[in-house]
C-alpha cells in the first residue's frame, strides 16, 4: 500500500499556497540557467519525426522527460528537471507538432500516444545505457503511466523507476475541470495554440477533419471531439478519454512510479487523485502535498531547484 504520508513541502512564500499563483508563477517568473541541449531528430515508423533534446554527461543512466499539453522540451519545468538530474544523461523530447515545426501527418499527439514514447525509449536504450528512468508532467505523466501499465511485466528491465507530476489520470474528469469555471485563463491559453494548429491541419489535409471553424472551438472537449478523436482513430472525445486515461493502467505497473499531485491543483478534480488504486498497488507511490499548484512546486531556497526536482532525484537515488 504505497500511499505515502503528506510530503513536507512548504512554499517559499505564503502567497504560493494559492494553487493558481503556484501554477502561474513558474511560467511567468522562472528563469532556468541555460541547459546544454544537443538536438536530434529521429524518424518514426509511420513516416513522421520526433525532435529530441539531449543533455549528455557521459553517464551510464538516462532519464526520459515528457512534457505537458502544448509544452515542449524547452519549457522551464523540463529544463529545470534536466538540470537537477546532474548525475544522469537526459533526453527531453517534444511531442509531434510541439517543437516549433509542424509534423508531417494528420495525427499529432495526445494523452495516450505511447507508441511515440516507446520510439523515444527504444532510441535511447539503443545508445547502450544500463538503466533508465521516466519523468512526466501532466499530459506527459498520463502518457508515462499508461506506457508502464500497458507493458507491465514485459517492460524492458533497464527501466527501473518513474516520477510523474500533476497527472490528470482521469481524462474525462480533468477535461470537465479545465472547461469549467475558474480555469478560463488556462483554457484560453491552451486553445489559442491548439486552434492555430487546427487551421494548419485543415490547410495541409483538406477534407480530412470534420468541418469546424477553429474559432468555434471554445472548450477542450470540443477540440477533442472535432480534432483529437478523428485524427487518431477515436469515436469521439468520450471514447478517447475512456481508452487513454492512465488510472485504469495503474494496476498493471510493475516498477515503482512516484505520482505527485498537489491537493491545491486547479486542474485536477477528486477523480484525478487515485487513492484507491495506490492502496491496492504494490508499486505505485502516491504523494499529495497540500500545496504546489499544477506543475508548480516552487522553491526559492535551493539553488533554483524546485521541490519537485529535488523530490524526483531523491526518489530515483533511493534504494531499491
- Active-site positions? 138, 265, 294
Tell me how long the chain is: 320
- CA gap 296, 245 in Å, rounded: 22
DSSP letters along 63-132, please? EEEE--TT--TTSHHHHHHHHH-TTSEEEEEE-TT-SSS--SSS----TT-HHHHHHHHHHHHTTT-SEE
CA end-to-end span of the chain, whole Å?
16
Contact 174, 267 (CB under 8 A): yes
Q: Angle of helix 307-317 relative to helix 76-84, nearest 10 degrees? A: 40
Amino acid at each position: 500500500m504505497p500511499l505515502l504520508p503528506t510530503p513536507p513541502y512548504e512554499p517559499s512564500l505564503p502567497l504560493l499556497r494559492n494553487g493558481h499563483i503556484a501554477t502561474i508563477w513558474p511560467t511567468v517568473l522562472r528563469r532556468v540557467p541555460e541547459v546544454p541541449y544537443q538536438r536530434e531528430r529521429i524518424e518514426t515508423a509511420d513516416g513522421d519525426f520526433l525532435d529530441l533534446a539531449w543533455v549528455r554527461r557521459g553517464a551510464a543512466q538516462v532519464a526520459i522527460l515528457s512534457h505537458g499539453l502544448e509544452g515542449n522540451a524547452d519549457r522551464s519545468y523540463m529544463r529545470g528537471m534536466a538540470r537537477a538530474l546532474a548525475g544522469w544523461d537526459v533526453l527531453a523530447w517534444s511531442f509531434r507538432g510541439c517543437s516549433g515545426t509542424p509534423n508531417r501527418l494528420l495525427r499529432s499527439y495526445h494523452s495516450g500516444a505511447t507508441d511515440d514514447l516507446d520510439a523515444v525509449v527504444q532510441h535511447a536504450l539503443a545508445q547502450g545505457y544500463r538503466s533508465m528512468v521516466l519523468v512526466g508532467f501532466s499530459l506527459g505523466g498520463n502518457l508515462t503511466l499508461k506506457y508502464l501499465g500497458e507493458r507491465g511485466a514485459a517492460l524492458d528491465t533497464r527501466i527501473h523507476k518513474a516520477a510523474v507530476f500533476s497527472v490528470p489520470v482521469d481524462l474525462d474528469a480533468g477535461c470537465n475541470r479545465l472547461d469549467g469555471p475558474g480555469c478560463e485563463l488556462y483554457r484560453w491559453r491552451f486553445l489559442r495554440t491548439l486552434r492555430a494548429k487546427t487551421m494548419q491541419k485543415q490547410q495541409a489535409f483538406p477534407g480530412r477533419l470534420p468541418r469546424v471553424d477553429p474559432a468555434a472551438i471554445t472548450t477542450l472537449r470540443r477540440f477533442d471531439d472535432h480534432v483529437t478523436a478523428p485524427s487518431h482513430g477515436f469515436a469521439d472525445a468520450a471514447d478517447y478519454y475512456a481508452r487513454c486515461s492512465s488510472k485504469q493502467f495503474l494496476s498493471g505497473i510493475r516498477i515503482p512510479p512516484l505520482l505527485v499531485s498537489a491537493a491545491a491543483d486547479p486542474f485536477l478534480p477528486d477523480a484525478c487523485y487515485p487513492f484507491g488504486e495506490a492502496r491496492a498497488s504494490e508499486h505505485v507511490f502516491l504523494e499529495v502535498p497540500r500545496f504546489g499548484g499544477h506543475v508548480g512546486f516552487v522553491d526559492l531556497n535551493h539553488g533554483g531547484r524546485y521541490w519537485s526536482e529535488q523530490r524526483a532525484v531523491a526518489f530515483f537515488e533511493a534504494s531499491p
